[in-house]
Amino acid sequence: MRILLLSAYDAASHKRWRNALVAHLDEHQWSVETMAPRHFAWRSRGNSLHFGLARRELLAQPYDALITTSMTDLASLRGFVPELSRLPTAVYFHENQFEYPLRSGQRANLDQQLTSLYTALCGDRLLFNSAFNRDSFLKGAGLLLAAMPDHVPPGIVNRLRERAQLLAVPLEAKCYAARGLCHGPLSIVWNHRWEYDKAPERFFEALFQLSEHGYAFDLHVVGQSFRQVPPVFEQARERLASHIRTWGFLASVEAYRELLSTADLVVSTALHEFQGLAVLEAVAAGCRPLVPDRLAYREFIPEPWRYGSYPDEPAREVAALVEALRGFCNDPESLRRSAPVNVEALSWNALAPGYRALLAQLVRGG
């Protein structure tokens, strides 16, 4: 089968997914076109120009199926390359444009939301990495259409719901590394993007309080950072210096895997998470998770490992996180003896049959 795969904003998790997809379903012939993950607003509107004009010859080749990420402006692209409209098409939603937490004074981008809605309407199958992602997209689409003044055709959300299915981003085999030795103080990992939607202020405030009360812990702050880093990171580097063992992005995958295999606890305070790959890969390596009781975490992380969620009450949420962390700091050995969280169901071995079945059904028109 000849498959065209388009990734219009090839962020790290998108790249990871499509590379593994091609590698694990190597019985098919893949043609992959991507665009670098920068200039978000321009990518969301300009990707069809690049794909449709600069790459038209490749896109117009005979294919059996099209897989595209939801960032692709598929409705416009089909106008530039009409041949694509004849292909059975699956749209993969790593995230959706309706559920991003907005900063103070920031307004939702109507244009980006409509573009993703039009792309979804072009898809024969809509794939979501979590029920939270699917449900928030459908709810957001419904609210957006209900706010329009007139000429909204009926049944759009139901039409999208009928095409939607869940198919998570799988974890590679290398994520399931042999567990290393853990000893000494509680070892905490923060392995998320250094951005406001991960609510780092809440995480560090909890650690500030623990440190001030004399609790022992080792801290590893890794993850990807960008040009604009929330100020709390620099504050934390100074105030938690005696606890810090790792600081900054680990370019070596091997070093990162080794860290996860020897750390005790991976912590999240995220306000925005559609699957939570950073937490899940740490869990696969043997870390115990500590995450807020919200977002996609409810689907993948058992309730005992979720603390109280108060997204609109930061102080109350920090208090809940401190309470959980205090117990682990007092008795890290008890945490280490606890049963690990099983995420084998998210491995490629477990999920590859679902991807194969999707492609077969897509081409058959089922």
**Which pLDDT belongs to residue 182?**
82
* Same domain membership, residue 113 and residue 249: no
Residue 119 belongs to domain spanning? 2-170+347-364
Q: What is the CATH number of the domain that holds 76?
A: 3.40.50.2000
Distances (CA, A) of 119 to 38, 45, 113, 150, 254: 20, 12, 10, 21, 37
Distance CA(23)–CA(27), nearest Å, equals: 9
Give me the count of residues in the chain.
366
Distance CA(297)–CA(271), nearest Å, equals: 11
**Which pLDDT belongs to residue 226?**
85
* Same domain membership, residue 99 and residue 15: yes
Tracing tokens 């004074």 back to the chain, one arrives at 105
* Same domain membership, residue 193 and residue 222: yes
* Same domain membership, residue 147 and residue 22: yes
**Which pLDDT belongs to residue 135?**
98
Q: State both tokens at 231.
A: 């100020």
* Same domain membership, residue 200 and residue 152: no
* Same domain membership, residue 221 and residue 353: no
* Same domain membership, residue 152 and residue 236: no
Distances (CA, A) of 262 to 18, 74, 254, 358: 29, 44, 13, 37
* Same domain membership, residue 319 and residue 215: yes
Phi/psi at 132 (5° precision) = -60, -45
Distance CA(50)–CA(72), nearest Å, equals: 11
pLDDT mean values, one per 10 residues, the chain (366 residues): 97 94 96 95 94 97 97 97 97 93 72 94 98 98 96 97 97 87 92 95 98 98 90 97 96 93 97 96 97 98 98 97 97 95 96 96 84
* Same domain membership, residue 77 and residue 59: yes
Please tell me the pTM assigned to this model.
0.94
**Which pLDDT belongs to residue 105?**
64
Distance CA(188)–CA(263), nearest Å, equals: 6
**Which pLDDT belongs to residue 156?**
98
* Same domain membership, residue 207 and residue 152: no
* Same domain membership, residue 138 and residue 14: yes
Q: How many domains is the chain partitioned into structurally?
A: 2
**Which pLDDT belongs to residue 179?**
81
* Same domain membership, residue 68 and residue 205: no
